[in-house]
Every structure is written in structure tokens, then in C-alpha cells.
Structure 1
């Protein structure tokens, strides 16, 4: 009897757990976080989002592919930090964002909510490294303190 009950409980958790993980992922739409640079300007995001801009000369660039895989694996972490990922893989289009940041070849650029460039990297960066850089920003520190104060009440 005990074995049957334990088996039933184990089966219940095995069946419901993947669904719970999937439903958490389903609430986060990558199209809301990852956008094309075409038709956008950095001023749209000032005080609202922290842009992470990924430049490449082609969508087939291995560094671009790797960076986007790293980002897609941890979208929820970036969403928690009010990040918008802006991609630009067409240098010939000369988007306003590419022109403003003077991008060449592959580059990843992190901007603060204030609109200042926090870092530029010529190689793909893990989301953990990006989130650490974001968490050191003064405005992000204030957001963390404010959230902590709300939870204490």
C-alpha cells in the first residue's frame, strides 16, 4: 500500500512539474524583450528600459548566434532587470542606433536607463555577466532597495 501511494505521488509530481516550468516560460514572450533596431531610437527607452544592443554584420555571424542563444536561455533574468534586447545585423541599413553607437563588426553594448553607455564588448557575454554589470548600477541598486522595502511592509 505504501509503495503504491509513493508511486502515485511521484507520478503526480513528474507529470505536473514539466507543465509548471512550461507555463512559467509561456508568460514571457521573447518578442516583447528582443526587438530589431530598425525604426527605433535609443531615446525611446530612456528611463523605461535598459537597452542591450547586439550588433553584427550578419545574422549568421557565429558570435551573434552565440550571444542570442545565451540571451534566450535567460530571458527572465533580463526581464527582471527591465532589459530590452535590440538587434542590428544589417550594417547597410545604417539604423539610427547603429549610427549613434558607432558600431563596427560584432559588438554588444549595455546602456543604463539614463541612456549612458555602461559597457561595450567585442565578444559574446553571458547573461550572468550582464546581470552583474546591471546590478552594480546606481539606479538598479535603488530599485533593489525599493523592492526590499516594499516586501518588508
Structure 2
């Protein structure tokens, strides 16, 4: 999902936004992160993750204004709106999933699901 027009409030208590930033769409780390996320889409969907991409600093999107990234950065936001992860290097979906699975709300979700 492109960051233009996105408000994080629309995801509160519904999804976990994972925002991937870069200064250009050609940034190798940005491309690698998006590839990693695409390959692990099922694991992310299972955890209610919504991927938001922002590679245009000139657009001054709401998410860019809020997180003020420098170069490549990804930010994972919990369902309650707090920042869970903020990393300057690409991560694999397994690492991201493990971090999500440690969250109290996610643990509760796993207990409730059959």
C-alpha cells in the first residue's frame, strides 16, 4: 500500500502497520525489504500486518511526518498505535513475526484462536 493518503488511525485496533521508508524506490535495502515482505505475505497476513511503502520524501506523507525517517527505515506499529520496532536495516519475515508474537495482544489473539 502506498503511504499517500494513509492515516495510521485507520488501522488502530484492526491491524499492525509496517511502514517501509526510503529516499528513493531504487534503494537496495528498500527493495530487499519489500521482497522479503512479499515472500512472507501469508505469515504477515496471519498477524494482521499491513505493509505501507513510502519512498518519496517530497510527498511529506502523514507517516513520514510522524516517524521522520532518515534513509531506509522500517517501523512496525502495534494495534494500539505504539511503535514496536524501528530498524535501519532490512529484516526477514521470520524475525518480524517473532517480534510480533511476543506482543501481549498477539499472545492473547493466539490463545483465542482455535
- Equivalent position SS for 2:99: helix
1:102 equivalent in structure 2: 68
* Residue 54 of structure 1: aligned partner: 20
Shift of 1:102: 1.3
Q: Paired residues, what number? A: 114
TM-score, normalised with respect to structure 1:
0.73
CA distance in 2, matches of 1:105, 1:44: 26
Greater Cα radius of gyration, structure 1 or 2: 1
Q: Deviation of residue 81 (structure 1)?
A: 0.3
| CA offset digits 1:39-64 (Å, max 9, x no partner) | 01111110000010000001110000
Moved over 2 A (4+): none
Deviation of 1:101 after TM superposition, in Å, equals 1.0
Structure 2 residues without counterparts, runs of 5 or longer:
none
Aligned residue among 33, 37, 43 for 1:67: 33
Q: Which runs of 5+ in 1 are unaligned?
A: 1-34
Match of 1:129 in 2: 95
Structure holding more helix per residue = 1
Displacement, 1:103?
A: 1.3
Deviations 1:76-134 (A, max 9, x none): 00000000000000001110110011112100001100000011000000000000000
TM-score (norm. length: structure 2): 0.98
Aligned to 1:40: 6
SS of residue paired to 1:125? coil
